[in-house]
Structures are given as C-alpha cells and as structure tokens.
C-alpha cells in the first residue's frame, strides 16, 4: 500500500505484488522513520511529536488504515 498526500488530502492506494499470486496478506505496514537529536533538550524529538500530533487524526481516519503507532527508541534515537 502506498500512503500519499496530495494537497491536503491523504489517500491509501493498494498495489499488487507482480508474479507472486501465492503471497497473501491482510495488512500492509508503512513506516516513517528518522533520527532525532538530544541537542537543545531533545528539541527535534519534541518537534517531531508536535508534527505527528498535527496529522495523527487525519492519517488515522484514512479508509483502510487499521492503526497508527508511534515508537521512539532513546538508545538509537529513532522516531
């Protein structure tokens, strides 16, 4: 599945796996990941959460979306 934003609208488009009819699945995951920094009292982590909060309801309400999860690793600084 491809989650795409055009203008102010989100859409979920499903893609077929070519030449692999034996592959069956019920859910497709999409991961957005980036590194954050501990500089300035974790300012980039705080900003990332603010940005996520701004789009979370909209992304969660897209037809076909089963769930949205946020995972943060303090050890490797992944968001």
Dump pLDDT digits (tens) for 31-68. Answer: 888 899 999 999 999 999 999 999 999 999 988 888 99
Prediction pTM value: 0.64
Q: How far apart are CA 32 and CA 43, in angstroms?
A: 19
Flag whether pLDDT at 78 surpasses 90: yes
Task: Give the model's pLDDT for residue 48.
Answer: 93
Instruction: Tell me the percentage of the chain whose pLDDT exceeds 70.
Output: 75
Element (H, E) at 9: strand 9-13
* pLDDT confidence of residue 64: 83
């Amino acid at each position: 599945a491809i989650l795409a934003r055009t203008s102010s609208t989100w859409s979920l488009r499903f893609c077929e796996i070519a030449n692999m009819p034996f592959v069956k699945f019920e859910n497709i995951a999409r991961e957005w990941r980036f590194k954050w920094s501990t500089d300035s009292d974790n300012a980039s982590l705080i900003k990332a959460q603010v940005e996520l909060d701004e789009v979370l309801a909209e992304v969660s309400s897209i037809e076909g979306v089963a769930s949205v999860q946020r995972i943060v690793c303090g050890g490797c600084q992944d968001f």
